[in-house]
Structure 1
Amino acid sequence: MSKDVMPTTGVSLAGEATRTWNDVEVDPITLRVIGGALDSTAKEMAQVLYRMAYSSLIRESEDLGAGLFDVNGRELCESDSTPMHCGSIPAYIRGINRRLAGTYKPGDVVLHNHPYHGAAHSPDYGVVIPIFWEGEHVGFAGCTGHVSDIGGNFPGLCMDVVDVWAEGKLIDSMKIYDGGVRNDALIQHILDNVRTPEQNRGDLEALIASARIGEKRFVEMLEKYGLDVVMSSAERWMDYSEEMLRSRIRAIPDGSYEAPVGYLDDDGKNRDVPVAVAVRVQVEGDEILIDLTGSSPQVPTAFNVPFEGSVLPVAVSAIRTILLDEAVIDEYVPQNDGCFRPVKAYAPEGTIFNPDFPASCFARFSQVNRVFDSINLALAPVLPDHAIAGSSAALCAIAYSGLADDGESYWVYIEINEGSYGGRQGKDGMDAVDALMANTRNNPIEELELNHAMRALRYELRDDAPAPGKWRGGIGSHRSWLMLTDTFLGSEADNRSDPPAGALGGHDGVSGSFVRNVGTDREEVLYSKVTQEMIRSGDTLDIKMPSGGGFGDPFERDAFKVLSDVWDEYLTAEDAARDYGVVVDTQTWTIDEAGTERLRAARAAV
């Protein structure tokens, strides 16, 4: 797929159908049963993957995706896991097809991670198994997961790298099983080039097992219903999802909607030089284009984004999430290729969202989260019941690592720290939760302390008051670690030097921070993106994640909700009066109704 396209057309991740089956009528009950079977298969694949995986990022955080696909990579179903992983698998398959189409055999297992040929980024190993029925290739079972290390210039996560080869071992459409015969030499070569061979071996076996259960379940469906009925049903579900999304798009007035240009802290090397993220949402009839023209030129570090494997999935995920939110619609709408069809994306070649080979694009999650955040903010004026205020929108991935006791490998632990959501119509922002383009869970402190030389001193909500709004912003997390051994630190986070934006009268949120040895005479503020930083034994690392923006005029917030936040110590009585016009009697800790009425009336009169 060409990257250099005109913004009048854009590029979609939706696939083209090459039918190897006959379209037949399917009764409604069978359609529902097959739809449920597809959905449960994808979920089972994810369960197998995260229960078998060795690395904590897959096993505990569930940083993975799984699903079934047709021969062209069209998504038939996906797991309830990280949307970036699921949404990128069609691009993986297209990247693999460009090299292997026509060569597949029963028993093949393909491993792939090339970011310029569909992968979301190189640490996301993708395993794809071609599915055969009566001697014919009819589809794929595929899954992805973020492995602990892929080699490269630094353990776990790296920012300051010269090109894509420096990221680590690139695996481009390699058959690790060829016709059922395992290529042990190739697998050993891959594992010999990573710092965490035991973890990667376990994760690779888990990925293979996940794809195999998908293959098995799909063949069972074919045995019961036949190829024509199963694929006709899948086609109906894809058409249904497409029409449901198009109907929501048609309800938006045609036009061009722009978010204020956002700025990421830096690129991990050129300090204090912000990186621009510009987002325009073009609505025409029942289609949407996400135009990233005006975003920063590509940078000389890993802080670029694979276009097909990451930009396109975030465009689709954002629009689907906003318009088909299960909280505000009653109909069940499965995620599949139909959701990709009405949404296109464009990014000029040579920018951070469409880099020229061989620029590194290892660290791409903070950028795509800001795209999602900006799409929300751009559409908030015309979709006030759907959009949310600014969120933390910065996946805070930090890799801690060191030489293992055997002296021959490394321990690597990758932590996803929790930010927060902005407020939205009818709901306060969620506190201390991964936001927007991710769905990863926090790792239990007990699991980390059991396996690594780190101790948690603090893990709680931030002390700062949440962003005021009719619906207040969420509160970010505050975590503090004590290092019990010298530890390498790599981070691809973003502190949100421009804090999460308030929407429709809500206040802005609060930026985050990284501080070493906070509160001591050795206190040092660190950049959000670091490579090869050493945290010495006895040092502490203090991490504050951004808090989301408020939604709506805070003086319209229900006074009892303000009082409840005072009771919960999210606000002081002074905060309540200044930001919300609510007077709290600090003798009885109740609302002073008369004082509140006067304060709010005075504000209204201005």
Structure 2
Amino acid sequence: MENGRVDPVTLQVISGALHTIAEEMGHVLYRMSFSSIIRESQDIGAGLFDLEFNTLTESEGSPLHIGSIPAYLRGISRCLQGGKWEEGDVVIHNHPYYGSSHSPDLCIVVPVFWRGELVAFAANTAHHVDIGAATPGLIIDIPDVFAEGMLFAGVKLYERGRRNDGLWQFIGYNSRTARQTKDDIDAQIASAQLGARRMQELLEEYGRDTVFGAANQLMDYTETMMRNRIAEIPDGDYYAEGFLDDDGLNRDKPLPIKVCVKVRGDAVEVDLTGSADQVPTGFNVPFEGSTKPACYCAFRALLTDTALMDVKLPPNEGSFRPISVTAPEGSIFNPIFPAAAEARFTQCNRMIDLIIKALSPVLPERVTAGNSATLSFAAYSGIRSSGDYWVFLEVNEGAYGGRPASDGPDSIDNLMANTRNNPIEDLGMHLPMVCDRYELRDDVAPGAGRYRGGIGVVKTQRLLEGGTVTHESERHQDVPWGAFGGHEGQVGKVEIVAPDGSVTPMPAKFSSVALKAGEAMAYYAPCGGGYGDPLERPAPQVLDDVLDDFCTIEHARDAYGVVITSGMTLDLAATEALRAKLRR
């Protein structure tokens, strides 16, 4: 070090080392886990944090977990068992009113000691299949946070290297999927302990001053780059609003979401004032652990997209510092204890979508049209002949809106999700279920535009034995918006399909609906809005969409002004005439 600064070569080496540690932690976690939500979907986050709970580095897992663990650490500091960290401790934590993103996301924290002194933390989060809540796997219609299952607040699962066997036994007797839950926690512990060991090795090689000096410089660099991007946005207040279908109980009460993005110089505030009051179900959002990280995610995606930057930014606390968030206490984005707050994901996605919409007039080259901006999260469950529960959590894909230079991606997690789909072959081998249908929607067309919206997925899962399903989703009513002349997308829908093929329409959210053997749930994801004037879409691209069954001949004519013959060829003369007429 020279003048308190780490030289550029060492800085880059330590940056790579920190990122590698976080990625290795993530790999160990999902490779060692047993439940599909972690092993296959990779609903995880992992990283290293300093004593002020700043993110030194994080793995590239689900965006929802990026930026959330510092809130866990701040919460633990208020309720840590014994009030002091000791070498060999392992803390388990998931309390929504002490920083957790939501209760199924258990956090494991291992303190990093170096030469007898506490210097950092290695931590990870992972979504667990079942923590003993009111309904298996997923909960919506519940009265308070105590119905969410086991709540851990700064509890030491290991104290000075010795496991708390009473707590371990308690976990085993309070989860419907006890073996999976305990095995997945073991994987989290192995991941966090590995991170602590790797951090100690890095400190031994370079020394404390150099490692933390480099980490601070890297955070400052990321902050500077984020502030530079924000400074390019004209100062002003930018508004957008939408609504949520309902709270999962009161079907006749849509819930408003209001977003005001306030840009001032190189800083930005997201003000959610005017959004719905907190609701009497689990459809609230923990402020510290989910609302704020959702806003961080929005600006990281908009302003630091790797496709639009020459250099990839180190994933650390610096990207969060220029962003502040306001949500009145007692609102859906900042509920007051003991309100339940487990089913919080779709609200975050819709809020990010509205941030994009609000900034679209001043960032037209970086935004999308309206996205599906929801999450289909289904919990299927049943009881085997042995008396054991089986529980399966499934995250279904959505679609993006059209983009400034390309169509919206089809059938893909969007905005704040980055989970992988669960192979249907794996499902069929382990659970009494079978996937009847898994493809792009063909009942509607996505939003038309110079660049069309993405097409949502349709998935039908049939139970071979009787069981139940709880489902969390959104956007059955509020249509994804079109941008810059593009057309609106399509809303989603959910159906229960009987063995004879008859269909019962369902709301977006419902709790513990019984399914008989042979009955199925079909989910249709929303389709994205279009970006730009549909009449500017090249006619051959429209023909390709028709040939791919992405739209019909009639839709090509009505939305795009493209005339296609019954022989599936373009009639260019008729197309030019029709487009001229439509433009007039």
- Give TM class, smaller chain: over 0.9
Secondary structure at the counterpart of residue 585 of structure 1: coil
Match of 1:595 among 574, 577, 582: 574
Which residue identity is paired with 2:288? E
Q: Distance in 2 between matches of 1:457 and 1:102?
A: 53
Q: Distance in 2 between matches of 1:248 and 1:25?
A: 25
Q: Which runs of 5+ in 2 are unaligned?
A: none
Are 1:387 and 2:376 matched, yes or no?
no
CA contact (8 A) 2:498 2:519 kept: no
Q: How does 1:27-426 map to 2 (within 5 A)?
A: 27-100=7-80, 103-259=84-240, 261-407=241-387, 409-426=388-405
For residue 425 of structure 2, what is the aligned residue in structure 1? 446
Q: Distance in 1 between matches of 2:341 and 2:28?
A: 29
CA contact (8 A) 2:108 2:124 kept: yes
Q: CA deviation at 1:531?
A: 1.2
Secondary structure at the counterpart of residue 104 of structure 1: coil
Q: Distance in 2 between matches of 1:30 and 1:126?
A: 32
CA contact (8 A) 2:104 2:130 kept: yes
Q: Distance in 1 between matches of 2:480 and 2:141?
A: 26
Q: Distance in 1 between matches of 2:205 and 2:553?
A: 65
CA contact (8 A) 2:260 2:270 kept: yes
Secondary structure at the counterpart of residue 103 of structure 2: coil
Match of 1:456 among 435, 452, 460: 435
Aligned length: 582
Q: CA deviation at 1:298?
A: 0.5
Secondary structure at the counterpart of residue 306 of structure 2: coil
Q: Distance in 2 between matches of 1:239 and 1:405?
A: 58
Which residue identity is paired with 2:552? T
**Larger deviation: 229-238 or 522-531?**
522-531
Secondary structure at the counterpart of residue 87 of structure 1: coil
With over 3 angstroms needed to count, the CA separation of the structure-2 counterparts of 1:585 and 1:522, relative to structure 1, is closer
Q: CA deviation at 1:500?
A: 1.1
CA contact (8 A) 1:419 1:435 kept: yes
- The normalised TM-score by structure 2 is 0.97
Which residue identity is paired with 2:221? Y
Match of 2:528 among 533, 539, 548: 548
Q: CA deviation at 1:591?
A: 2.7
CA contact (8 A) 1:401 1:488 kept: yes
**Larger deviation: 228-237 or 182-191?**
182-191
For residue 454 of structure 2, what is the aligned residue in structure 1? 474
For residue 435 of structure 1, what is the aligned residue in structure 2? 414
**1:339-384 CA distance string (max 9 Å, x none):** 0100011101101001010000010001000011100111111101
CA contact (8 A) 2:145 2:339 kept: yes
Q: CA deviation at 1:519?
A: 9.4
- Give the 4+ runs in structure 1 shifted more than 4 A: 518-522
Secondary structure at the counterpart of residue 137 of structure 1: strand
Q: Distance in 2 between matches of 1:497 and 1:218?
A: 49
With over 3 angstroms needed to count, the CA separation of the structure-2 counterparts of 1:265 and 1:22, relative to structure 1, is farther
Secondary structure at the counterpart of residue 156 of structure 1: coil
Secondary structure at the counterpart of residue 68 of structure 2: helix
Secondary structure at the counterpart of residue 153 of structure 2: coil
Q: CA deviation at 1:480?
A: 1.2
Secondary structure at the counterpart of residue 491 of structure 2: coil
Q: Distance in 2 between matches of 1:31 and 1:493?
A: 44
CA contact (8 A) 1:394 1:496 kept: no
Q: Distance in 2 between matches of 1:287 and 1:570?
A: 42
CA contact (8 A) 1:67 1:86 kept: no
Q: CA deviation at 1:569?
A: 1.6
Q: Distance in 2 between matches of 1:534 and 1:358?
A: 29
Secondary structure at the counterpart of residue 278 of structure 1: strand
Q: Which runs of 5+ in 1 are unaligned?
A: 1-20
CA contact (8 A) 1:22 1:228 kept: no
**1:14-62 CA distance string (max 9 Å, x none):** xxxxxxx998321111111110111111111111111111111011100
For residue 490 of structure 1, what is the aligned residue in structure 2? 470
Secondary structure at the counterpart of residue 50 of structure 1: helix
Which residue identity is paired with 2:441? R
Secondary structure at the counterpart of residue 308 of structure 2: coil
Secondary structure at the counterpart of residue 380 of structure 2: strand
Q: Distance in 2 between matches of 1:518 and 1:287?
A: 53
Q: CA deviation at 1:520?
A: 4.9
For residue 4 of structure 1, what is the aligned residue in structure 2? none
Q: Distance in 1 between matches of 2:84 and 2:196?
A: 18
CA contact (8 A) 2:28 2:190 kept: yes
Q: Distance in 2 between matches of 1:88 and 1:405?
A: 40
Q: Distance in 2 between matches of 1:521 and 1:476?
A: 22
Q: CA deviation at 1:521?
A: 7.4
Q: Distance in 2 between matches of 1:276 and 1:481?
A: 32
CA contact (8 A) 1:518 1:542 kept: no
Q: CA deviation at 1:441?
A: 1.0
For residue 3 of structure 1, what is the aligned residue in structure 2? none
Q: CA deviation at 1:405?
A: 3.6
Secondary structure at the counterpart of residue 148 of structure 1: coil
Secondary structure at the counterpart of residue 584 of structure 1: coil
**1:551-594 CA distance string (max 9 Å, x none):** 1111111222212212212122222121112222343x333222
Which residue identity is paired with 1:199? Q
- The normalised TM-score by structure 1 is 0.94
**Larger deviation: 493-502 or 108-117?**
493-502
Which residue identity is paired with 2:24? E
CA contact (8 A) 2:499 2:518 kept: no
CA contact (8 A) 1:392 1:496 kept: no
With over 3 angstroms needed to count, the CA separation of the structure-2 counterparts of 1:23 and 1:411, relative to structure 1, is farther
Q: Distance in 1 between matches of 2:171 and 2:154?
A: 13
Which residue identity is paired with 2:290? S
Q: Distance in 2 between matches of 1:503 and 1:449?
A: 41
Q: Distance in 2 between matches of 1:147 and 1:139?
A: 26
For residue 553 of structure 2, what is the aligned residue in structure 1? 573
CA contact (8 A) 1:23 1:228 kept: no
**Identity across matched positions, percent:** 51
Secondary structure at the counterpart of residue 555 of structure 1: helix
With over 3 angstroms needed to count, the CA separation of the structure-2 counterparts of 1:86 and 1:102, relative to structure 1, is same
Q: Distance in 1 between matches of 2:158 and 2:87?
A: 10
**1:488-518 CA distance string (max 9 Å, x none):** 1111211431121111111111111111126
